[in-house]
């Protein structure tokens, strides 16, 4: 996978992660199979991963994945109760970043240990997704993350 400085997230504060071909294939499989993205294959020709990403006004992300300047995947480990209490503070800055930088969609991934999030949190996520068709929030098992991210 080539490193492309034109990708929109290149200048976001954080640490670039060098991807090998197997990493890129694993990220593509994660985005398509686990997150359910239906992006065409050509979008995956350019993938940029950054870790420890800081952005003004946002709770730092553990990782962000830029897929072809069209899909922004943000990954942050949170306790489900933290998400419930700080939902807008966690999600809104990334939604704004998506909009300001022309991404088609934001997928915010919250890896969780096996266990159930509260019904209150699930309802809050559903309300946001119903009001903004360009954001998806995923509560997924840690074990389903690509190796380069876990």
Q: Give the model confidence (pLDDT) of 63-79 as tens digits.
A: 999 999 999 999 998 87
Q: What average pLDDT is seen over the chain?
A: 85
pLDDT confidence tier of residue 131, bands split at 50, 70 and 90: very high
Asked whether the predicted pLDDT for residue 81 surpasses 80, the reply is: no
Work out the average pLDDT over 135-147: 89
pTM of the model: 0.86
Q: Are 48 and 25 in contact (CB under 8 A)?
A: no
Phi-psi region of 14 (alpha: psi -120 to 50; beta: other; left: phi over 0): left
pLDDT confidence tier of residue 7, bands split at 50, 70 and 90: low
Q: Are 13 and 54 in contact (CB under 8 A)?
A: yes
What pLDDT shows up at residue 4?
Answer: 46
Q: Where are the domains of the chain?
A: 15-144
What pLDDT shows up at residue 2?
Answer: 43
């Amino acid at each position: 996978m080539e490193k492309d400085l034109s990708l929109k997230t290149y200048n976001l504060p954080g640490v670039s992660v060098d991807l090998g071909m197997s990493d890129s294939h694993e990220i593509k499989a994660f985005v398509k199979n686990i997150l359910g993205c239906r992006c065409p294959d050509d979008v995956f020709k350019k993938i940029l991963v950054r870790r420890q990403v800081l952005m003004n006004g946002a709770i730092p992300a553990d990782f962000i994945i830029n897929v072809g300047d069209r899909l922004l995947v943000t990954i942050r480990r949170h306790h489900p109760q933290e998400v419930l209490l700080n939902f807008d503070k966690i999600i809104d800055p990334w939604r704004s970043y998506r909009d300001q930088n022309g991404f088609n969609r934001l997928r915010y991934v919250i890896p969780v240990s096996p266990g159930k999030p509260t019904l209150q949190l699930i309802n809050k996520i559903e309300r946001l997704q119903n009001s903004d068709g360009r954001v998806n929030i995923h509560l997924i098992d840690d074990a389903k993350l690509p190796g380069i991210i876990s």
